[in-house]
Structure 1
Amino acid sequence: MSKPSLARGTRDFGPDQMVKRTFIFDTIRRTFQRYGFQPLETPAIENLSVLMGKYGEEGDQLLFKILNSGNYNEKLSEQDWQQDTKQLTGKISEKGLRYDLTVPFARYVVMNRGTLTMPFKRYQLQPVWRADRPQKGRYREFYQCDADVVGTDSLLCEAEIVMMLHEILPGLGITDFTVKINNRKILTGIAEAIGAAGQEGPLCVAVDKLDKIGKEKVLAELRERGFSDESINKLEPMFSLATENAPFAQLRVWLSASETALKGIEELEQVWQMTEGFGLTTPRTQLDVTLARGLSYYTGAIFEVKVNNVQIGSISGGGRYDNLTGTFGVPGLSGVGISLGVDRIYDVMDELDLFPKDQTITTRVMLTNFDAQAAHYGLGVLHELRQAGLNAEMYPDSVKLKKQLDYADRKQIPFVVLIGSEEMGSGKLTLKNMRTGEQQSGTVTELIDRIQA
């Protein structure tokens, strides 16, 4: 008999955790819907042809591949087994678990473009999987909450992403956070300015690790990737400008020779102006020119959200992608989106003790069960309580009252309705407040009013 265990990087969520997670989901969902986004779900399993090549070299390595069913090695030769891992994988695996929600969304848009109202705004709350090394705040299975708009290149979409983040996070009790924003066009201009035109891809992969490994190791990685010492020395303004709040003027001077960079700077300035137009009085936004986001499909604005003064890294990220649907044969559909990591948000809220105290309560009132007659009488009462919108349950067995009250106490049920022969005779039920010990009597309607009050 094997001992039960969990796969590394995955977790069970008991009732206490699920109530808190549901609070996060509901808060995010309400905001997405308020901004006109519609719900969507896609399969956990996608064809590898859909997933591969969309996340960069490192992302492809973190994809969970699924072995072909049946005798997958039946048609393999000895020579096949001697090939490198990438070539062999293509012959024994055709499917994989989704790495994020954006690429499946792009695949959905292409397959259903004839029926969608454009621009198409969708939100998606589903798990994703990455074959990463598990550590604090990093899991192999985790939930993402995405909101994307496809079919428009309007910068209003970027501004509304900023506004949604400023609603969702305070709605969860998170007030000390920073929304970092950059633009891939600026990074392209930086590559040109340091004499490494066309190398913005490797530059982004390395710079994206700045928070994790520090400046010196980023520079060392750039050398390993073939960047010259001259180019690396010219990169210095990138790190000094990262400490400025909105260094648009300084960027224009440094990157004046790059039309692409100037376009990116102009786009970000418009986003800043729009959020001011929305009336965002205390913006927690920061232009961070070192923000790269490792995913290779971003082409415009990129976002990352960090909660200040906590151990956990970013809790949200996203950006503009102009070419993602083009990889599926439909070019010209620009999109932009944001993704919130529920598991990291949960850990942050847990660390900062931000969950509402009554969120652990799932049942508001419990009915006692003294005998068969009282239980039968209680069925009508139970129905009335639920019809009034109260979460209610009856203890299923006729046992001693102490055991029933212990059950209610352990589940943190705040009210218990006691139904005995006296209550059935008079029609006046007894309501016990489990927090104060106070008891009151009244009709079902009167008790409902007291509980709701």
Structure 2
Amino acid sequence: MKPSLAKGTRDFTAKEVYRRKYIIDILQKNFELFGFEPLETPSFENLSTLTGKYGEEGDRLIFKILNSGDYAAKANDEDWNNKNSQKLIAQISEKALRYDLTVPFARFVAMNQGQLAFPYKRYQIQPVWRADRPQKGRFREFYQCDADVVGSTSLWQEVELLQLYFKSFEDLNLSVTIHINNRKILSGIAEYAGIADRLIDFTVALDKLDKIGKQGVQKEMMEKGISEEALSKLDFLFSQSSDALENLNQLKEKFGGNSNGLKGVQELEFVIKNALQLGINSQDLVFDITLARGLDYYTGAIFEVKAKDVAMGSIGGGGRYDNLTEVFGVKDIPGIGISFGLDRIYLVMEELGIFPADSDVKVKYLFANYGEAESIEALKLISKLRQHQISAELYPEAAKIKKQFAYAEKKGIENLVFLGEQEIKDQTVSIKNLESGEQKTMAVEAFLKSVL
């Protein structure tokens, strides 16, 4: 059978793993700098834990795991014969791969609330799975790097998370804009247009503006039963000014008597004004009134990060989800979190060519193999290098030097070291730099002194 990869998954070469690690190390350093603690949760959860948290579209993208053993024997014959998949899922699948890191985190908080010090700040860097249609920048298996705070309603958390975003991307040498909105504002707009009962349909359609454009969004809204009169009232959404605070002031006029919408405006004003006072560039922080983020659990601020110089979807996002733990029977634990899309960040950095040269870790020295007696002397020297965190290896066989050269060049090793019979006798080593072609012979002690 010809080997193949499952759709939407990838293998990662050494170079790719090193570069991904470079990104993760910077994010992890900043997470801890801002006071977040690490957490890991299982790759799969009970299906009941995940369903109903992401909206109808999200639920369809959850990878379900078939029950062990003869799962079909326990299925209802009528449902099986009628191919009633919705009823069958509950009978043949109890587990599912996690769709994101936020819902498992909420489940963890609900189970361990008595042992946690609130506000509890955690970061999590693990893979998630979605049964999505694979395309550029969109995979079925990908990593999320999340930072969340639960147990605080303070809007300073929003401000700090914006700082965390901007500092992390600055450290990665990546220019971004962060789009920000508030779900209360979206609720207020729905109320203003007389479609409060269609809030989910409204936000799900609006969230697709980047993909399907204004006409596509309006068409989808009409298909969901939103009237032309309501669409006419919503037309201002598509022609906003570049001044965030000016747009918020216009909303105040539209939200007269609309307490929920006004509260959203006030919250967003607080976040934007204080972020700007802390030195965040107003050109990099965009109030995007059409930003909806199609997840049902957001209740306040919502964020989306976009790279400036590359056509790519969002490379990060998040928001406030004050009611999420209630579905696990635990009330009054507000939360807010952001996520970094590792895979998309990697693609953007690769396209821009901004990975630093030292992000690719390579073996520094390859010692040529001349036979058993020479190899033991080479390994003694290699051990000294490794004790000082200098990467070195011995070619495993006493093959022709040409073959050993080819191995070193293919692997990208910087230096080939010759420690043959004559060098051992003279207590010297000969080193050839494979990039410059320069070769020199020096005393072993002088060599060690020069590299340690």
1:318 deviates by 0.4
Q: Secondary structure at the match of 2:210?
A: helix
- What's the RMSD between the two structures over aligned residues? 1.8
1:42 and 2:41 correspond: yes
1:110 pairs with 2:110: yes
Contact 2:255 2:262 in 1 (8 A): yes
Alpha-carbon displacement from aligned partner over 1:32-52 (angstroms, at most 9, x marks no partner): 111111111111111011000
Cα deviation for residue 444 of structure 1 reads 5.1
User: Amino acid of the residue matched to residue 178 of structure 2?
Assistant: V
| Aligned 8 A contact 1:147 1:338 in 2 | yes
Unaligned runs of 5+ in 1: none
Deviates more, 1:442-451 or 1:89-98: 442-451
Match in the other structure for 2:276 = 276
1:54-453 equivalence runs, <5 A = 54-81=53-80, 82=82, 84-175=84-175, 177-241=176-240, 243-246=242-245, 247-280=247-280, 284-443=284-443, 446-448=446-448, 450-451=450-451
> 1:413·1:434 contact (CA, 8 Å) conserved in 2?
yes
Partner of 1:29: 28
Amino acid at match of 1:25: I
1:443: Cα distance to partner?
Answer: 4.9
Which deviates the most, 311-320 or 69-78?
A: 69-78
Cα distance, 1:438 vs. partner?
A: 2.0
Residue 108 of structure 1 and its aligned partner are, at CA, apart by: 0.8
Deviation at 1:169, TM superposition (A): 1.7
Q: Tell me the distance in 2 between the aligned counterparts of 1:178 and 1:151.
A: 28
Normalised TM-score (structure 1): 0.95
1:333 partner amino acid: I
2-structure distance, mates of 1:15, 1:336: 35
Q: Deviations over 1:424-450 (max 9, x none)?
A: 233332232221122334455643554
What SS does the aligned partner of 1:337 have?
Answer: strand
Contact 1:188 1:198 in 2 (8 A): no
| Contact 2:36-2:122 at 8 Å conserved across structures | yes
Going from structure 1 to structure 2, the CA distance change for 1:276 and 1:309 (only over 3 Å counts) comes to: closer
Task: Decide whether the 8 Å contact of 2:22 with 2:359 is kept in 1.
Answer: yes
Percent identical pairs in the alignment equals 49
Give the deviation of 1:280 after TM superposition: 3.2
> Following TM superposition, by how much is the alpha carbon of 1:416 offset from its aligned partner in structure 2, in angstroms?
2.5
TM-score by length of 2: 0.95
Within 1, Cα distance between the matches of 2:343 and 2:441? Answer: 44
Runs of at least 5 residues in structure 2 that lack an aligned partner in the other structure: none
Mean Cα deviation higher: 73-82 or 36-45? 73-82
1:18 is matched with 17
Does 93-102 or 280-289 show the bigger shift? 280-289
8 Å CA contact 2:183, 2:300 repeated in 1: yes
Distance 1:173-1:445 versus aligned 2 partners, 3 A rule: farther
Return the alpha-carbon distance in structure 1 between the equivalents of residues 4 and 179 of structure 2: 39
SS of corresponding position for 2:174: coil
- How far apart in 1 are the matches of 2:112 and 2:337? 19
**What letter matches 2:68 in structure 1?**
S
Are the structure 2 counterparts of residues 449 and 108 from structure 1 closer, same or farther at C-alpha, using a change threshold of 3 Å?
farther
Give the secondary-structure state (helix, strand or coil) at the position aligned to 1:73. Answer: helix
Structure 1 residue 221, shift from structure 2 partner: 0.9
How many equivalent residue pairs? 450
Contact in 1 for aligned 2:23/2:342 (Cα 8 Å): yes
Residues 157-202 of structure 1 show CA distances to partners (whole Å, capped at 9, x for unaligned) of 2112111221222222312x21000010110110111111243222
Q: Deviations over 1:110-153 (max 9, x none)?
A: 11112222111111111111111111111111111111111111
Q: 1:450 to 1:245 in 2, by over 3 A?
A: farther
- Using the TM superposition, give the Cα deviation of residue 85 of structure 1 relative to its aligned residue in structure 2, in angstroms: 2.2
Greater Cα offset, 442-451 or 4-13: 442-451
Answer yes or no: is the 8 Å Cα contact 1:193–1:257 preserved in 2: no
